[in-house]
Structure 1
Amino acid sequence: MGKLSATAVKAAKRPGRLGDGDGLFLIIQPGGGKSWMCRVQKNGHRRDFGLGSASKVSLATARERAREIRAWVELGLDPIFERRKAEGIPTFRQAAAKVIAAHSKTWRNEKHGKQWHQTLETYVFPQIGDLPVHEITGPMIRNLLSDIWLAKPETARRVRQRIGTVLDWAYASGYRENCQSACKRDPLSARKRDPLSGWRNVDVTGFLAL
């Protein structure tokens, strides 16, 4: 049984934090706004998860969401990823559209945006454009790029970096469960080495944007 009641939640005015138990807190802001937070600690690591505004999320719903989060953590799952998965994970094509829209505000001209879209449309979308972003793996990217590494090395680098940018966004948005370190070494920098060797067993989410 929690410590709070619906009446207490409604009456709370003083800025601060009220605990309901099991890591669930009501946060009262100086301006009067109220929101729910679930705090979970496991193996010495603490994480806080926002559960929504108290004006829209009832005490009962907040408790249910907190229980769900604790269960996911106990199972070794990422609550943010699991929540996103339940809501629906975007395809790579959909994620790329969001990334392009967000980055377009910082690009100097429209040409760069067109190049972004053109390279993805030509080399990426036909193979992985309709896959959910959490299903895309390093070997998939290696196979995708294998036809252009030697013929168009500069194009291959740009495509690789743009794929990485989209997958970085997907991870940061909670659509990919983890973000493993990727091989950032240029696979074309050593003449005697297999130009595709860096893509055999890596996750591509660590690549930086252009």
Structure 2
Amino acid sequence: MPLSDVAIRKAKPAEKPLRLFDGGGLYLEVMPTGGKLWRWKYRYAGKEKRLALGSYPDVSLANARERHAEGRRLLAAGIDPGEQRKAEKAATADRAANTFGAVAGEMIEQRSGKLSTVSRERAVRLLGYLAPIANLPIAAVDGPLLLAAIRKIEARGMETAHRARAFAGQVFRYGIATGRNRTNPARDLLGALAPVDGGHFASLTEPERVAPLLRALWGYQGGAVVQAALKVAPLVFVRPGELRTARWADIDLEAAEWRYTTAKTSTPHIVPLASQVVDVLRALHPLTGRGEYVFPSERGKHRPMSENTVNAALRALGYDSDTMTGHGFRAMARTMLDEILGFRPDFIEHQLAHAVKDPNGRAYNRTSHLAERRKMMQTWADYLDGLRTDGNVVPIARKAG
């Protein structure tokens, strides 16, 4: 007699498994523990076999009958339902192992012994940025799909978008080497992305290279004013013209703030000063504090430092124009604050004095996210201190909200 939902619900466990048959080899096995499992007993190639069809009530009586009917259709076609299920599971596992994300994760693990902690963290972060394609079979990811994913990253900055393209290229090359895909669509996107904003300004963005740069800046043997400017430049990452024309009247050391109007956009801007910057400026104040400019020219206190002073100092320290420039401190901060310290891109853009608009298209004012930016600037200064003093390139474990 076929089973009914009422009979199934009323079935009570016994000391031994109890079988309630529905017909055609389909039955419900009531376990001593109370579990109710659907089974199908069938014969294939002269051998008796059993196939699990799920548990009740997750799989209802109607669902169990549907699965049973599908199995019988396979059997009628000369296919072993049990082996078919194994093949489907294997195919599912194979697809899961061959997604872009799985191949990328395997590549990162395979290279983990050769990657620094920072490089590994950056690779994982870039993979996170490429989430739109992470669950797709790597062989199915073509140029348009990859480009669409990278377009979403451009809000974080073109440099990050270019890094994501380069990372994707590494994944595709690894996939080709391991037989998962045959093409590298990242290579075809070389000319599809806009160049990095201000890309003609050379910069260092790898912690392993930034650390010796910072030590060189702090070891500069030139004049005290230039020494101070070199120490402050990477910490505040303002435009070079804004740094060299900084006025004492705009700086409040007690409040640890520098307020001025940007020359490029003619908009008010606030630079929260980390404690390290305040210390440098306090030490400099006895030398230049009676004048107008924080960093006056050697040719006269009534004029600002020359626009080439910082770059000339970098050259003297062995960094040519193709390696690092005064403007490059901005790219350094933008990239590392995002990719290593994990701060929100809009916080970074605000601090760079770039035009940032709210959801209604209105420009934010200079106090937007000031508390969060203050924390970011101090974290940045502390991180650079760690690089400079002990070569610590391990990113601070945080994600700014």
Please give the range of the TM-score, normalised by the shorter of the 2 chains.
0.3 to 0.5
Query: Between Structure 1 and Structure 2, whose CA radius of gyration is higher?
Result: 2
Relative contact order higher in (CA < 8 Å, ≥ 6 apart): 1
TM-score, scaled to structure 1? 0.44
TM-score, scaled to structure 2? 0.25
